Amino acid sequence: MQPVEEFMRQYLDERIAEEKREQASRASFRRKFHTDDCRWDSRAGTLETIQSERVLRVSGSNTTASVVTTRESPSSGVHQLRYHLQGSRDGWLIQSVDISCRSCRGEPGKEGCILCHGTGWLDLRAPQATLPKQKPWWKIFG
């Protein structure tokens, strides 16, 4: 089976290449509808964020693995991602991805965090059902 580290290197390299292709394919559309300094829908910073991602640690067994990476986004700073991998025939597939909790950063004793409940991670698959229900904006002001 392909080593997890090799899979992640390949994934990160191919993700960079895919983002470059995506941005190149959108270039004529952007020139047609946006000024050069318009950032709306530009994917500005996306390539830099992807290029900055580095593997911090790997753990797992023959059939499952967890990979924690770090990356820096121009808009939101440094954060970590945790990839859950599932073994497949000769390699790995990404099953889900978690992002580090920006609210409590998973510090011990922060079980009261309304976002992650002290785990330090937010599951990117799930809607944020743990957030308290809020009144619609028109009921807040009216």
Q: How many structural domains are present in the chain?
A: 1
| Tally of CA atoms within 13 A in the half-sphere of 66 that contains its CB | 9
Express each pLDDT in 78-124 by its tens digit: 889 999 999 998 899 999 999 988 888 766 567 788 888 888 888 87
Residue 59 pLDDT: 95
Position 137 in a domain: no
Domain encompassing residue 26: 4-128
Is 93 part of any domain?
Answer: yes
Within a domain: 28? yes
Q: Is residue 134 part of a domain?
A: no
d(CA 38, CA 8): 34
Instruction: Indicate whether 133 belongs to any domain.
Output: no
pTM higher than 0.85, yes or no?
A: no
